[in-house]
Amino acid sequence: MTGDATYYRKGFGLRAEVQQTLTADYDGHLVDLLLAREHTLTAGPVTVRLAKEFGFCYGVERAVEYAYQTRAKFPDRRIFLAGEIIHNPHVNAKLKEMGIAFLGASPTGFDYTPVEAADVVILPAFGVTIHDFETLRARGCVVVDTTCGSVLNVWKRVEVYAKEGFTALIHGKYYHEETRATASQVEKHPGGTYLVVRDMAQAEDVMAYIAGGFAGGRDAFLAKYAHAASPHFDPDIHLRRIGAANQTTMLARESLAIGEAVGATMARVHGDPYRAEHFRTFDTICSATQDRQDAVNTLLQEPLDVMVVVGGYNSSNTISLAALCAERVTTYHIEDALGIDPSAGVIRHRDLGSGQERELAAWLPTDRAIRVGLTAGASTPNNKIGETVARILATRGIDPATVV
């Protein structure tokens, strides 16, 4: 609690009360075995290697726990959630079972029409925009804020950029909840401006414009990035002073590369003194995201037949992990364990190229001993990771119940 009886950010002191339920809902026996055996589990011809860092990060654990605490604190009140608490279908389904209603989208954010002063609204780990926050506070309802601390650190950096007259160049997905919330922080200062780029290819458009070589000029640039920039954004004005930031769950090395490349372009076009005065960059990459990517890179040094990545199809950090893995080994990104059907020998996965879900038969070699790499996005609970291990074993005819 922050001193305001309708705004809570530090829970309700009910951790012990909800811990047993959390453990029952999300812990996994097979994951415990993997951890006890140096992240290695061998059963018959199958060896599963689990990355050293995987699954729930601190920010996700905190957000989910606070949601459970909120239901315990307000058993008789209507509780709403602004979007999804995290990008994991299993966790969100559990919250719905607890009677927490999910607010839908509106043209300017979330639709708070159903919310009354007596209600409770949980803000997700991604945070919400300034407009959403102000709308809720005006309604007078109880607000439980689970925004991740790593996200808040990026917000502070973006706000400083706006205060000092720098355009926030954000590496992220313009439609993602976190990126929308981050971009809105520039509104705290008059004239604050942002531009969101999805990847290095879009960053190269920015660099081309700075160097005077963007095809079609100003009008073409504005048309291409109208959906990803401040309403008043003008590349002739707002690409003169740039501060780099990122959505915390993006591919870390790409975020760093984009910042370095944009800064180098400003130096090449205008000189080093200009860059020193007109360009800012700080490492705002989430440590949990970095740790999971580092752990995957380490695991990929080993001989693996396939890699399975578990996490929501709309989870950016999971998508980034899958992309890393696919560079080195055949990789399958599954939403949860149900994506593997042992009886049919089929896997249902997100195709890394098209982003569409595909089904593939005979995905796991059956004629030899195999090593399967495994990791999971930061919003994937241990029980879903354990269920994935069970289904991998069952695909090769091994009864998971016999693994002790």
Question: 301: which residues sit within 8 A by CB, 6+ positions away?
Answer: none
With left for phi above 0 and alpha for psi between -120 and 50, is residue 275 left, alpha or beta?
A: alpha
Question: 321: which residues sit within 8 A by CB, 6+ positions away?
Answer: 292, 293, 296, 309, 311, 375, 377
36 three-class SS: helix
396-to-155, 308, 331, 333, 367 alpha-carbon distances in Å: 47, 15, 18, 19, 10
Judge residue 198's burial from the number of C-beta atoms within 10 Å of its C-beta, 0-12 exposed, 13-18 middle, 19 or more buried. Answer: middle
Q: Convert 321-340 to b/e letters by CB count within 10 Å (16 or more is b).
A: bbbbbbeebebbbbbbbebb
- Tell me the H-state helices in 226-363: 235-238, 252-270, 272-278, 287-299, 316-326
Question: 31: which residues sit within 8 A by CB, 6+ positions away?
Answer: 50, 55, 382, 383, 385, 386, 389
Q: Which two tokens stand for residue 308?
A: 């399975």
Q: Catalytic residue among 178, 260, 359, 387, which?
A: 178
188-to-155, 185, 364 alpha-carbon distances in Å: 11, 6, 52
The Cα–Cα gap between 180 and 119 comes to 25
- Told to judge if 53 belongs to the known catalytic residues of this protein, a careful annotator would answer no
Judge residue 212's burial from the number of C-beta atoms within 10 Å of its C-beta, 0-12 exposed, 13-18 middle, 19 or more buried. Answer: exposed
- Which residue has 């003194």 as its token pair? 273
Say how many C-beta atoms besides its own lie within 10 A of residue 66's C-beta: 25
Mind telling me the catalytic residues?
A: 178
